[in-house]
A and B are shown apart, each in its own frame.
Chain A
Amino acid sequence: MSHNEIILTTERAGKTFGGLAAVSKVDLTLRRGDVIGLIGPNGAGKTTFVNIITGMLPISAGKVTYRGQDITGWPAYRVARLGIARTFQVVKPFRNMTVRENVAVGAMYGAGGARRSTREALRRADEVLEFVGLLDQRERHAEQLTLAWLKRLELAKALAMEPEVLFLDEVMAGLNPKEIEAAMDLVRQINQRGITLLIIEHVMKAIIGVCQNVFVLHYGQKLAEGRPEEVLRDPKVIEAYLGKKYAEQLEARDAEN
C-alpha cells in the first residue's frame, strides 16, 4: 500500500530523561491504511516513542508531522482532537463511570467531539460498544470488568474519538489465546474502516497476523524495518530481542509451506 498518502511522520524524534536517551533519532513514516507493528525488547522506548508523538511527554528533539502539519510539542489534548488516538498499556478506565460513559467521553472530546452534544455522544458510544462487542456491558461500572473487557474498553474509548491514526499499546498483553484471536479480528476490522494503526505488541503471532510491516526499536533507536517475516529473521533483531527459538519456528513453518 506504499502508494498511499503519508499521514504521519517523525524525523529524528528523540526523548531524553536527564542524561539518558530513551528514544533517539527515530524516523518513522505512516501511510494511510497502514498497520505497522512496533516491537523491541522491554525498555526499548516503544511507549516513550508513542508518548512523545501524542504529546503525553514533551519531545526533546526532532519533528512530528501529521497530514503535512507540524505538531511537534503539541499538548496531548490537541493531538487527540486532531485525530490521533491511543490506548494505554496499563489500562486507564474511568472507574467511577459506566462503560457507556467512559466511551462517551471519547466521543465528546475526540476528533468528532466539538459538533456533538452529550446525548449524541452517548448514542455514538453505543455504536462503538456494539462494534467492539461490549454493548451488553454498557451499564456496568468500569471497575467491575475483567482485564480482557477493560482492554476492549480502552479500544472503544479510542475509537469513539473517530481517529485517523490509532496507537495500540499492548492491547493483547495478558489475554488468553482465544481472546487474542478475537482482538486480532477486531484490529483487522478497525483497519478496514480506514484507520491507520501502529501496534506495540509482544504477542508475535498477532504482529505477524495483522501487520504489513514491523519497526524494531532497540535502546531507543531504530534497529530494523520491513516485512514481519524478514525482520523477524534478521540476526540483529533475533539477537536483540527474540532469541533463536522463534526464528527456528518461523523457518520450520516456511519449510512446511
Chain B
Amino acid sequence: MREALRQNRNVVIVGLIGLGIFALLPLFGLSGFAYRTLTSMFLLIVTAQGWNLIGGYTGYAAFGNVAFFGLGAYATGILMYRHGWSFLPTILVGGLVAAGYAALIGLPVLRLRGHYFAIATLGVAEATREIVAWWTPVTDGAAGISLPFLKPITLAQNFFYYLALGMVIFGAFLTWFIIRRKLGYSWIAIRADEDAAKMLGINTTVSKVIAYALTAFLVGIAGSVYAYYNSFIAPEEVFKIDRTLQAILAVVLGGAGTIAGPIAGGVLFQLVSTFLIFSKPFGIDLGQFHVTIMGIFIVLVIIFTPRGVIDLVTRSAREARRVHADQAGGRRSTWTFLKDGARATRLILAQNRQQFKI
C-alpha cells in the first residue's frame, strides 16, 4: 500500500515537472512551427486520452472515434458561423453533442464484442461523415465551413497552446478521478471478463455507455478546439480516419489503461512523426518515407515493449528499487539507481523480444 502511494507520488512529480516545462516553454520564445506542432500534439493527446477510456480501460477497440472529433468540430463551426456564438461555450456543446451521440450509438453497438465492435464503430464514423457531407443546409456540405481568425497571431498562438495544454490536464484529471472510483473498477473488470463483471453485480451496459460517452466528450472537445484553431473544417478533413488511428497508436505506444500512457505516447508519436517529416539528415528527405518509417517504428515498439513505454519505465524503476533495497546499507546515489534502471530496461527489452514469436 505504501509502495503504491510512493509510486503514485513519483508519477505525480514527473507529471508536474512535465507540465511545468510545457507551461513555461512559450516564455522562452517558440517559433510558429513549434507552436503548431505542440498544440497539435496536445490535441492528439486529448483524443488519445479519450480513446484510452473505452479502448484502454474498458477494452473495447473503438475504431470510429473520429466521428466524435468531427461532431465537436462541426458543433463549434455551426454555432460560431451561423449563430454567432462566442468560442468558449461551443467547446462544451461540442463535447456534449459528441457524448450524446456516443450514448445513442453505444446502446446497440456496445453489445458487440471484439472485431465486430471495431468494424461497427468504423462504419458509424463513415456514415456520420457522409451525413455531415450531404446535410448541406446545416453544414454547407463538402465545401466546409470557414471560421473567423483569432487575432493578433501571438494571442492566438498562446491562447490555443494553453487551452490545449489545459485540456490535456483535464483529460488526465478526469481519468484519475474515475479510475479510483466504482465506475473505474467496473471498466477494468469488464476488460478482464465481462461475464464475471455481470455476475458480481455490474450493470455492464451502463458502465460501457458511460465510458463511451466520456470518450466521445474528450474527443469532441478536441474537435471543437481544432475547428477554431484551424479556422476551416470540411468533412474529409475532420472525419479523416487517420485521427482515430493516431489516437490509438499514441495510447498503444504509451501504454493502454494507464493515466500517463496517452500523454507519453502522444509526445512520442508527435516527436517522431514531426522529425520524420521535417528533418533532412544527411540531405535525405525522410518526408516521402514518413508513413513507412513510422510503421516500422510502431512495429518495433510493439515487439520490444508491448505494454507501452510507461510500462517499461515503471517496471525498470521497480526493478531498480528492488536492487537498491537488497543492497541495504549501500550508498543509494541517484547515479547507481539510474544505472540499475538502465540495466533493468535492457533486460526487459531483451525478454520482450524473446517472447515475441510470429
Contacts and interface: CB of A to CB of B under 8 A. Distances in A.
B195 A77 contact: no
Contacts of B192: 93-97
B201 A113 contact: yes
Interface residues on A, range: 20 to 34
A199 interface: no
A80 interface: yes
A23 interface: no
Contacts of A38: none
A56 interface: yes
Interface string B193-220: 1011111111110000000000000000
B199 A118 contact: no
B181 A106 contact: no
B199 A108 contact: no
Interface stretch (B118-126, B145-153, B182-190): B182-190
A94 B189 contact: yes
A110 B199 CA distance: 9
A52 to B, nearest CB: 13
B240 interface: no
A157 B200 contact: yes
B1, B188, B197, B199 interface centre (most CB from chain A within 10 Å): B199
Contacts, number: 79
A243 to B, nearest CB: 33
Given A109-B182, A118-B182, A97 B189 contact: yes
B160 to A, nearest CB: 37
A54 interface: yes
Interface in A92-134: 92-97, 101, 104-106, 108-111, 113, 118, 121
B6 interface: no
A88 interface: yes
Contacts of A108: 182, 185
Interface in A45-82: 54-56, 75-77, 80-81
A248 to B, nearest CB: 39
Chain B binding surface, main DSSP class: helix
B20 to A, nearest CB: 31
A77 B185 contact: no
Contacts of B195: 56, 76, 88, 92
B185 A105 contact: yes
B227 to A, nearest CB: 37
Contacts of A31: none
B257 A96 contact: yes
B201 A109 contact: yes
A76 B182 CA distance: 18
A118 B182 CA distance: 6
Contact of A80 (B1, B181, B191, B198): B198
Interface string B95-110: 0000000000000000
Nearest to A95: B192
A161 interface: yes
A32 B300 CA distance: 59
A86 interface: yes
Contacts of A101: 185, 188
B193 A80 contact: no
B331 interface: no
A105 B189 contact: yes
Contacts of A113: 182, 201
27 contacts: A54-B199, A75-B203, A77-B204, A80-B201, A85-B199, A88-B195, A88-B196, A88-B199, A92-B195, A92-B199, A93-B192, A93-B196, A94-B188, A94-B189, A94-B192, A97-B189, A105-B189, A105-B200, A105-B202, A106-B200, A109-B200, A109-B201, A110-B200, A113-B182, A118-B181, A161-B200, A161-B201
Interface of A: 54-56, 75-77, 80-81, 85-86, 88, 92-97, 101, 104-106, 108-111, 113, 118, 121, 139, 157, 161
